[in-house]
Amino acid sequence: MTGRIHAIQTLGTVDGPGLRTVIFLQGCPLSCFYCHNPKSWDFSKGTLMDVEEIIAKILKLKDYYGSEGGVTLSGGEPTAQAEFATELFKRFNEHGIHTALDTAGPILNAAVKELLNYTDLVILDIKSANPSEFHHITGGELSHTQAFLNECITRGKKLWIRQVIIEGLNDDLAHMDALAKFVHGIPRELIGRVELLGSVQNLIVLQNQFRIISNNKSSICSDM
Ligand code: SF4
């Protein structure tokens, strides 16, 4: 089976635990106005690669992953190529390699449910906890992300929750309050980490505010 790859990054340290290879799949159904990589949107672009070709690459790197690391599928939006992603994750599982899915959760269908069967960690990027703002940012619907999240919760999936903080958009306490309420709907034991990502000046203040509002015991970190 082949899939469309946007890029492969080795020695990644931010998209999941430990040292990881991050495979960015081509194509995204959303169109976030702050997207750092719009070249990853078009489903007809990217490089066609075979599952076996990727497995061979990953197995050469397996020793570097140690006990914590592994492979993260990111994008674009990896659930948009769910069958291909499932074949990769199945094979990684067979080789004892940890699998993480970095997603905005816009799709929940039978193929995505199958993909979750082989996913060790879901890194869920909550673009906004407010439905109209979510639509404004992404062109998509928060209800789709919520449905994906509900499926993860039902299955007891480990989650890292992310939100990108943009100056003048959501870098205020009202947005931290909304995010905290959203996160509050997730069983605490499933949340490994909440990450507020961005380069806004008051990120530390926002992180502290989020921690206070949500009484969050999980780690909060930034990617500056
Ligand atoms: S979900 Fe990610 S890849 Fe897709 S448009 Fe938004 S930021 Fe870009």
Instruction: Based on the fold, state whether residues 93 and 171 are members of the same structural domain.
Output: no
The answer on pLDDT for 39 being more than 80 is yes
* Ligand 1 pocket residue status of 77, Cβ below 6 Å: yes
Gap from CA of 144 to ligand 1 centroid (Å): 15
Task: Assess whether the C-beta atom of 163 lies below 6 angstroms from ligand 1.
Answer: no
102 pLDDT more than 90: yes
Q: Does residue 132 sit within a domain? A: no
Is residue 133, in this structure, part of any structural domain at all?
A: no
Whether residue 89 sits in one domain with residue 48: yes
Model pLDDT for residues 130-139, shown as the tens digit of each residue? 999 999 999 9
171 and 90 within one domain: no
Which atom of ligand 1 is nearest to 40's Cα?
3
Residue nearest to atom 6 of ligand 1 (CA): 32
Is the per-residue pLDDT at 218 higher than 70? Answer: no
pLDDT of residue 224: 30
Pairing of strands 2-12, 20-25: antiparallel
Residues 121 and 74: their CA atoms lie apart, in Å, by 12
Residues 50 and 116 grouped into a single domain: yes
Give residue 187's domain range.
148-224
Statement to judge: residues 93 and 153 lie in one domain: no
Asked whether residue 140 is assigned to any structural domain, the reply reads no
User: Residue 129 in contact with residue 120, Cβ under 8 Å?
Assistant: no
CATH code at 72?
Answer: 3.20.20.70
Residues 27 and 112 reside in one and the same domain: yes
Q: Residue 105 has what pLDDT?
A: 98
Is a pLDDT exceeding 50 seen at residue 222? Answer: no
Regarding whether 85 and 48 lie in a shared domain, the answer is yes
* The pLDDT value given to residue 220: 61
- Note the pLDDT of residue 58: 97
Q: In what order do the strands lie in the sheet with 158-164?
A: 47-50, 2-12, 20-25, 70-74, 98-103, 121-125, 158-164, 191-197, 219-221
In a domain, 80, yes or no: yes
- If asked whether residues 15 and 90 sit together in one domain, one would say yes
Cα four-point dihedral sign 42, 151, 2, 89: positive
Total domains, the chain: 2
Residues 4 and 85 reside in one and the same domain: yes
pLDDT of residue 223 exceeding 50, the answer is no
* 153-174 pLDDT per residue, tens: 999 999 999 999 999 999 998 9
pLDDT at residue 19 above 50?
Answer: yes
Question: Is residue 119 included in any domain, yes or no?
Answer: yes
The token duo for 43 is 């489903």
Of 4, 81, 138, which is best to mutate to test ligand 1, by the most ligand atoms within 8 angstroms of its C-beta?
Answer: 138
3 with 114, same domain: the answer is yes
